[in-house]
A and B are shown apart, each in its own frame.
Chain A
Amino acid sequence: MPSRIFVTGLGFISGLGSNVQENLDSLLNLRSAVGPVRYIETSLKDELCVSEVQMTKEELLAFAGLTGREACSRNSLLGMIAAREAFLHARLNEHQGLRIGLISGTTVGGMDECEKYYQDFLSNDSRNEFIDIYDCADSTEKIAGYLGLKGFMTTISTACSSAANSIMFAARMMKAGKLDCAIAGGTESLTKFHLNGFNALKILDKMPCRPFDAARNGINLGEGAAYLVLETEEAKKKTGNKIICELTGYGNACEAFHQTASSPDGTGAYLAMKKALDMSREHPDNIGYINAHGTGTDNNDLSEGRAIETLFPGKVPYVSSTKPFTGHMTSAAGSAEAIIAILALLNGIIWPNLNFSSPMPELNFKPVSELIRGVDLNVVMTNSFGFGGNDSSLIFKKYGIY
């Protein structure tokens, strides 16, 4: 009988705050982090709004307690800070002999540094120490070094579902008896590389995004990192950690439709959510809240909306996208929004889908637009759908509810 998977630690840094509590405070006070560009140097500065972690790289280094002597990217720093919070929350530093895995999602890797030095790389030796930090693995290994982890580790890059897939893979490794616990999630800092890339795809909104709105006009990019500590039942007996909630279902499916677009009927999204639902053995009526992928693009919100209606015919649960709060954190979105969904679960709150005013004519439901308190929430779902159709869905359940 494969082990149950418990969440025992959370770590989160975003435009909303530098730890879980600060992020929660921002959500409760309806404080969006989306605004003008403040930190990243880009010629698109005056054209876009983004969500940035409100610290320079030097401030992040200081916050992490590092000197900056070793070449390190902003992306890695965000990952280290969030992973450390989760690691300490679950007191993993106090337990020896546990097989701890580190599974991290990222696409940026060290690109936020390397994109500055590309011409140097080609023409001189002045920036050689940055050559090695370019790839995705570097950020994962920086986190490992920072926390003194030497167990199993790997890096997943499936675009916007990277962090969700990291959580899933960690759970599967634990159920197979290969790990006792895992730090799983993702990290992504803003880069000129992907700001310009998304801009070339013409799917960025110059104004704050409006997911599921009839007049929605695209994405606001965001940055940050978020990690969960997951434990098996056996590990939890050893650590004695309080169970935050349980990961009861997950699903990974591929849209297989187009390199950037989702199918109009939301096949991939539906399949991912259905797999998660089937695994959780929950009746659809038991899902109290869906934290949608809800990017604010024409395509995603229609596709995802249709998939939700197909899976929950006639009775769509509360749905909201929290990307108007955090921006689209791309490879970190899956774990960031998992934590936001968990915070909803623990507090009995439905987060509003900010900036919403007109329902989409194609859908029969509309997202929640006001904060709702006092909700009897037992099970929540969170969706992450990546470019290329890498679709993932996670289900978390309040512990002790059957």
Chain B
Amino acid sequence: MDELIDKLKKEVIAQLNLEDISVDDINPDSPLFGEGLGLDSIDALELIVLLEKNYGIKIEDPKDGKKIFYSIRTMAEFISEHQKKA
């Protein structure tokens, strides 16, 4: 899981072009949206693209994103679950 969390942090930084933010700056349990990193609805869509391109997981309804993208850890757990099912 830690490996996946680390990998995800790097991918999120790249996908969202968070130039000034390093892997160490992101707490895996901190909220990504609102407070924390302060991401918005467009970032959520970009994260949906990331899940599909990098992990083959398709999210049809952006509203589902709220729970999945709460934090890096929730993202990692979602990916793990889906990869087990596959």
Contacts and interface: CB of A to CB of B under 8 A. Distances in A.
A201 B41 CA distance: 9
A259 B61 CA distance: 21
B40 A202 contact: no
A336 B86 CA distance: 49
A258 B45 contact: no
A260 interface: yes
Interface string B33-68: 000000011100100110000000000011000000
A201 B45 contact: yes
Contacts of B45: 200-202
A261 interface: yes
Chain A, interface SS category: loop
B42 A202 contact: no
Nearest to B61: A202
A259 B62 contact: no
Q: Which of B40, B41, B49, B61 has the most CB of A within 10 A?
A: B41
Q: Which of A201, A202, A260, A261 has the most CB of B within 10 A?
A: A202
Chain B, interface SS category: helix
Nearest to A298: B63
A200 B41 CA distance: 12
A260 B42 contact: yes
Contacts of A200: 45, 49
Interface string A247-271: 0000000000011110000000000
Q: Interface extent on A, as a size class?
A: under 10
Contact of A258 (B40, B49, B61): B40
A261 B42 CA distance: 9
Interface in A217-260: 258-260
A43 to B, nearest CB: 16
A402 B62 CA distance: 50
Contacts of A202: 45, 48, 61-62
A200 B46 CA distance: 9
Nearest to A201: B45
A299 to B, nearest CB: 9
A261 B44 CA distance: 13
A202 B41 CA distance: 11
Nearest to A202: B62
Contacts of B62: 202
B44 to A, nearest CB: 9
Contact of A260 (B41, B48, B49, B61): B41
Contacts of B42: 201, 259-260
Nearest to A200: B45
Contacts of A261: 41
A74 B48 CA distance: 33
A261 B43 CA distance: 13
B47 to A, nearest CB: 12
A261 B41 CA distance: 9
Interface in B2-58: 40-42, 45, 48-49
B65 to A, nearest CB: 10
Nearest to B44: A202
Interface in A182-212: 200-202
14 contacts: A200-B45, A200-B49, A201-B42, A201-B45, A202-B45, A202-B48, A202-B61, A202-B62, A258-B40, A258-B41, A259-B42, A260-B41, A260-B42, A261-B41
Interface of A: 200-202, 258-261
Given A260-B41, A260-B42, A261-B41, 11 more contacts: A200-B45, A200-B49, A201-B42, A201-B45, A202-B45, A202-B48, A202-B61, A202-B62, A258-B40, A258-B41, A259-B42
